[in-house]
Chain A
């Protein structure tokens, strides 16, 4: 046991003195929470803007429709005089919404026929969409109001022309709205876990061979499995530090943002984060064992770096899919390490229920794969080829 502690201590001490290992374990994990803060505050700004700010509408020939203009102003439009060439102004982006009231408008309105107005917009401009939609809604509102008055004047109930009464029920909870943004979180947790110990795994294996310290190390009367266990544990220690830092960073996110005023709640409370941490523990063991196995077989430090970077890209795939598509609900999915953990993390932060057997299946899958990787690494350490690399 003392020998094992000596092995473990040496790996940790040596890497604590290495700036690159420290940077990987401690600098990178801040990036995830940082991105989330920037994302949320950006979205918050545009969301709030949609609701509160007046819609600027430039009107040409407003004097021909004083009632309409008065309605727009009283319903939250900022009305201005349109420039001479309206369409050009919109196309060039100087205006988002322009309203042209043609000469025949007044006469047709008086006759009770549809009075033409021209709404000039650029439908391809994403940023203008909220304003365009609100301008349309305002026009429809006025149209309906005047139409109802006309029906009433003819002794017809205003509801007669409405064959359908459509009621939209928005089931989006505050959590599910926030989850759109939180979708990035599980991916960053997995990434922190993979990157945090990556450098240590390389340094302790391919690095040790490159420095030629592997041969003297193997001359010690210590079972080879102890070497592997110490190196895996040191890797897990650094990855675990990175994981803790990422989780702490995400815990700080609600403090940095005025979440309650954004209209959605974020489930990043310590309870959820603690469960996220427990959920990915088996993954921590799997990542470290695999990294040690792969790096030990690499011929050089650089070759190990290339293989492990490639390995880090693998969980990007489920991460990307999950960020945009809803997670399918299947126990079979729990058999795929990193995929399973990311799905479960998504459910945790969305406040969705998790069948009790899911985390168990996920942990069993990750841990058995970790055991296989560990066993393969021990086998490799017992082989003569360890000294030379594959």
Chain B
């Protein structure tokens, strides 16, 4: 379970987060939807501990990020917006590296790497350096890397950017499977179709705070709009930064 409570974060005069609060329960996929500059990436970065909030708390399975960062990170798998693979390391080396950084026993790690390579269809590129990989291959390596310590909580920052249709569909199937295993998944996007196709719940944010939340049906009902996109525009109060 992921809980954000009253997060505030300012970069100079810019208020990136302005009292952001929401919860992602286990076994659910929650979409974080918002126009560009709404604070999605800042919220996620605060959640995985590379940014410190000015006020408020972020908790993973009840563990406070600001006081017990490392313990919280043990339970969190994250896919930052930039995948950031090492071009001179192979797929397997990526998984082993992050597995060891999570302190996983070598005997356990070997099996888990095999499992992930298979589950994500990486058999063919397992021993290849990631330098020349396609966007889809890179995404799968990065996702395998985020899952290597078998976290119950998963945070993804606009993961489908740059994926083709087949890749996107395979990715959705995979995320649903991870959810059905009982994990909680937080997923940021500014693409409407993406969110409506995949998420159990949507949190709409604008200017650093939540402006609407609920299932897509609830969202439409609350805003009195028949179409999710119209509901979204109604929620954020403008069409700025929409795609």
Task: Name A's B-contacting residues (CB within 8 A).
Answer: 2-3, 5-7, 10, 13-14, 17-18, 211-223, 384, 387
Contact = CB atoms under 8 A, between A and B. Distances in A.
A215 B80 contact: yes
A13 B89 CA distance: 8
Contacts of B49: 218-219
Contact of B100 (A6, A18, A223): A6
B218 to A, nearest CB: 32
B82 A14 contact: no
B171 to A, nearest CB: 18
A88 B69 CA distance: 87
Contact of B101 (A3, A17, A384): A3
A212 B80 CA distance: 9
Given A17-B88, A215-B84, 15 more contacts: A2-B100, A3-B103, A6-B96, A6-B97, A10-B97, A13-B89, A14-B88, A211-B84, A212-B80, A213-B85, A214-B84, A217-B84, A218-B49, A221-B70, A222-B70
Interface stretch (B71-79, B119-127, B179-187, B202-210): B71-79
B74 A221 contact: yes
B58 interface: no
Contacts of A215: 45, 50, 80, 82, 84
A263 to B, nearest CB: 52
Given A17-B88, A215-B80, A3 B73 contact: no
B48 to A, nearest CB: 5
A40 B86 CA distance: 46
Contacts of A17: 88, 129
B15 interface: no
Contact of B84 (A3, A213, A220): A213
Contacts of A2: 100, 103
A14 B73 contact: no
29 contacts: A2-B103, A3-B102, A3-B103, A6-B96, A7-B101, A10-B89, A17-B129, A211-B87, A212-B80, A212-B82, A212-B84, A213-B84, A213-B85, A213-B86, A215-B50, A215-B84, A216-B83, A216-B142, A218-B49, A219-B48, A219-B49, A219-B50, A219-B73, A219-B80, A220-B101, A221-B74, A384-B51, A384-B52, A387-B50
A214 B83 CA distance: 10
Given A10-B89, A13-B89, A219 B78 contact: yes
A5 B45 CA distance: 27
A307 to B, nearest CB: 23
Interface residues of B, number: 33
Contacts of A223: 70
Contacts of B86: 10, 14, 211, 213
A387 B46 CA distance: 13
B98 interface: yes
A301 to B, nearest CB: 13
Which 7 pairs between the two chains have the least Cβ-Cβ distance? A212-B82, A6-B100, A213-B84, A221-B70, A220-B101, A212-B84, A221-B73
Contacts of A18: 88
Contact of A14 (B45, B50, B84, B89): B89
Contacts of A211: 84-87
Nearest to B70: A221
Nearest to A17: B88
B140 interface: no
Given A6-B100, A212-B84, A213-B86, A218 B50 contact: yes
A203 to B, nearest CB: 10
B86 to A, nearest CB: 6
A381 to B, nearest CB: 11
Contact of A212 (B76, B78, B83, B97): B83
Nearest to B97: A10
B152 to A, nearest CB: 14
